[in-house]
A and B are shown apart, each in its own frame.
Chain A
Amino acid sequence: MSEHVKEIKNPVIPSREEFYQVLAKRHGTKLQEKFSQASVAVCGLGGLGSLIAILLARAGIGKLSLLDFDRVDLSNLNRQQYFVDQIGMYKTDALSRNIHRIAPYCEIFTHTIKITEENILELFGQESVICEAFDNPEAKAMLVDAVLTQFPEKYLVCASGMAGIGSANLIRTKKITSHFYLCGDQVSELADGEGLFASRVAVCAAHQAHTILRILAGLQDN
């Protein structure tokens, strides 16, 4: 028997403590304490970044910095975590709202700006992990160079190669140096007929989000 799904009007938002307790029950108090103290930056809020930020917020990460210069476009909705009524909004604003509907106590800082070699020093501070989720390969390489040389104490989790309908099993996480991880198949480039599929992009985003949780947990192997 099918049931009509009713929208819940004005739900009572559980307290910060209630949120913490349900997460601590699932992740363990020791890990949850680390997650709630953690600060992570997500650079680029497209198919990868919008999902990574939501996965981190759901895990109870205390502070998220969201960086992107772009606005939500209709062509984003096949794989990015936005809604039709958010078309035209800055991704930073739209994603903050969406995350707060999931995790109201997650502290969010937004930077609606294009990250360059020149402004990068001012953009990062308290974050212990920086996540690269750009689409442009030159921007990816620029961020790696800038973060690893100017913030050697921070961890960097990047992505390369998640386009097309190739096997999801080819997407993996590789530890390149002690502070630099790379997720993806490293070869599948965005091209004509090799578009971005929500499912395969999500596999890569989940690799990145999970690697970040493992770094925060102190499990810095592979």
Chain B
Amino acid sequence: MLKINGKEYNYDGMTISEILELEHYEKFRVAVERNQEIIPKAQYDSVQVQDQDQLEIVSFVGGG
């Protein structure tokens, strides 16, 4: 089990890209942080999440 934005999910072994698609996030509007470190967009297809990981997905909305 891992946590995404404080909630538990059973996504162990999945890539960041797979999780973003499952959770309906738009890749080019998010920033993803795992265990206090930012994951570069170029690594979304290769980084696999593990048991106990803490993920924070920030989804940006328009306006400024």
By a CB distance below 8 angstroms, the chain A residues around B31 are 141, 144-145, 148, 176, 180
A149 near B40 with CB under 8 A, answer: yes
Question: In the complex, A28 Cα to B38 Cα: how many Å?
Answer: 35
Give the bracket for the number of chain B residues in contact with chain A.
Answer: 10 to 19
Are A177 and B33 in touch, CB under 8 angstroms?
yes
B37 within 8 A of A: yes
Interface residues on A, range: 35 or more
Is A177 a contact partner of B58 (Cβ separation < 8 A)? no
B28 at the interface (CB under 8 A from A): yes
Flag A144-175 by CB within 8 Å of B: 1 or 0 each: 11001100000000111111000000000000
For the complex formed, measure the closest distance between the CB of A171 and the CB atoms of chain B, giving whole angstroms. Answer: 12
> Are A180 and B38 in contact, CB atoms less than 8 angstroms apart?
yes
How many residue pairs at the A-B interface have CB separations less than 8 Å?
80
A145, A148, A189, A190 interface centre (most CB from chain B within 10 Å): A145
User: Do residues B61 and A160 form an inter-chain contact, with CB atoms below 8 A?
Assistant: yes
Q: Which residues of B contact A48 (CB under 8 A)?
A: 64
Of the listed residues B37, B38, B58, B62, the one surrounded by the most CB atoms of chain A closer than 10 A to its CB is: B62
- Contact A188/B33 with A145-B40, A160-B58 known, Cβ cut-off 8 Å: no
Separation in Å of the B1 CB from the closest CB of chain A?
22
- Complex Cα–Cα for A142 and B30 (A): 9
B63 at the A interface (CB under 8 A): yes
Q: How far is the CB of B32 from chain A (nearest CB, A)?
A: 9
Smallest CB separation, B4 vs chain A (Å): 13
Does A82 belong to the interface (CB within 8 Å)?
no
Collect the chain B residues with CB atoms within 8 Å of residue A140's CB: 29, 60, 64
A44 vs B36: C-alpha distance when bound (angstroms): 26
Residue in B36, B41, B58, B64 whose CB lies within 8 Å of A46:
B64
Cα A48 to Cα B60 with chains together (Å): 15
The answer to whether A190 and B38 have CB atoms under 8 Å apart is no
B40 touches A137 (CB 8 A): no
* Complex alpha-carbon distance, A186 and B59, angstroms: 7
What residues of chain B lie closer than 8 Å to A182, measured between beta carbons? 58
Please, which residues of chain A bring their CB within 8 A of the CB of B38? 144-145, 148-149, 177, 180
